[in-house]
Amino acid sequence: MEGSIPLTCNYEKSMMLQTAAIKPSIQPSSSSQGFEDVIRDLIDRRFFVETEQYADLSNWLDKRRKYKSCGIISGSRGAGKSRASKEYDALVTGRRGSMRRIKPLHSLYIKAFSSWGTIDLCRQSLNFFNHGAKKGSPMDVRLRTWETFEDFGLELLLVDNGHVLSEKILFDLVECYDEFKIATVLIGPEKELENRLVLLGLRKKFNSHHKFPSLSPKQVVGVLKAFKRDFLSLPEDIEFFDGEIVHAICQASGGNPSKLEQPGCDFNTISEILVLSIAQSSSNGNFHLDKRVLKEVLYDFGVNVELTVEESNDTETGING
């Protein structure tokens, strides 16, 4: 019989600790951005957990590269498929941050937008190679892009928001594959992406399909432990996220805490809860995570977590209970 997340987890220790500082080694530098944007950028760059979903996706993408076949990655909005795809791209290319890619190029990740035409996709691609494309006809830019892909030995093109791509872009990507055999994978919500391809008669061109599930409550426990380990200046034996908070985060992210193995918790929602909690806990360039603030953010997400006596007595963000 499947259990649920216990509402207590080393609670005696966690009661004593209401605020945790972000590790000095990853504290953001001064920036003109607001706290929220700085923290969101930090978490987007550094917060990643190698879950079972990521391992399965990596194996599937390795096969697309090896066998030069196209396909789609689908899943619910917020499941983390985009984040996992970007992490795979960074891993196989050895690229981090603004570092330029070098030959051979195993993978290239691009996030597309609904306003884009083929030339926008091509220009964005060429920017990765530091090959500007401000001039020239659309056909010239497109051909230059495909030839650059070939010159760099590109094996896999990952295009996020595949469901919003125009008909012209989709057919151009198919043409690129037919001519240069560069495996192309589209990423997007399952129904929208599949319906789009079926409508255009292109489903068979992207015949391989990988479904990316959301996290289970059991996995959320591991994700929060990883966040505590990588982001918070705390000893290993101190639990910051007690059972009650983990339970609430599972609920807020769409999961059912009573079904430990059942997917349903959105990684993106969990990240956003942490972003908002840290941003609202921090001041004067000092980045912290305050448990009282975290509970207030969870309340904004529709889940009520009662404040402890210590938290109720706090009147300022960032004060230890």
Token output for 230: 């990588």
Q: What is the pLDDT along the chain (321 residues), one digit of tens a residue?
A: 456 666 544 444 444 578 999 998 888 775 656 778 888 988 988 899 999 999 999 999 999 999 999 999 999 999 999 999 999 999 998 865 555 556 788 999 999 999 999 999 999 999 888 755 555 556 688 999 999 999 999 999 999 999 999 999 999 999 999 999 999 999 999 899 999 999 999 999 999 999 999 999 999 999 999 999 999 999 988 889 999 999 999 999 999 999 999 999 999 999 999 999 999 999 887 899 999 999 999 999 999 988 764 655 554 433 232
pLDDT at 228: 95
| C-beta neighbour count of 82 within 10 angstroms | 22
pTM of the model: 0.87
- The pLDDT assigned to 103 comes to 74
State the Cα–Cα distance between residues 154 and 157, nearest whole angstrom. 7
User: In the prediction, which pLDDT does 62 show?
Assistant: 98
d(CA 275, CA 38): 9
Asked if 191 and 161 count as a contact pair (C-beta separation under 8 A), the reply is: no
Domain regions of the chain by residue span = 11-49+215-313, 52-211
Q: Are strands 183-188 and 71-74 parallel, antiparallel or unpaired?
A: parallel
Which is it for the CA torsion 258, 260, 263, 264, positive or negative? positive
- Residue 207 to residues 8, 21, 114, 275: CA-CA distances in angstroms? 47, 47, 23, 37
pLDDT at residue 100 in the model: 53
In three-state form (DSSP H/G/I as H, E/B as E, the rest C), the secondary structure along the chain is CCCCCCCCCCHHHHHHCCEEEECHHHCCCCCCCCHHHHHHHHHHHHCCCCCHHHHHHHHHHHHHHHHCCCEEEECCCCCCHHHHHHHHHHHHHCCCCCCCCCCCCCCEEEECCCCCCHHHHHHHHHHHCCCCCCCCCHHHHHHHHHHHHHHCCCCEEEEECHHHCCHHHHHHHHHHHHHHCCEEEEEECHHHHHHHHHHCCCHHHHCEEEECCCECHHHHHHHHHHHHHHHECCCCCCCCCCHHHHHHHHHHCCCCCCCCCCCCECHHHHHHHHHHHHHHHCECCECEEEHHHHHHHHHHCCCCCCCCHHHHHCCCCCCCC
Q: What is the structure's pLDDT at 104?
A: 83
- State residue 8's pLDDT score: 47
Partners of residue 119 on adjacent β-strands: none
Distance in angstroms (rounded) separating the CA atoms of residues 243 and 236 = 17
What pLDDT, on a 0 to 100 scale, did the predictor assign at position 313? Answer: 58
Phi, psi of 110 (to 5 degrees): -135, 130
User: What is the structure's pLDDT at 102?
Assistant: 66
Domain spanning 52-211: which superfamily?
A: P-loop containing nucleotide triphosphate hydrolases (3.40.50.300)
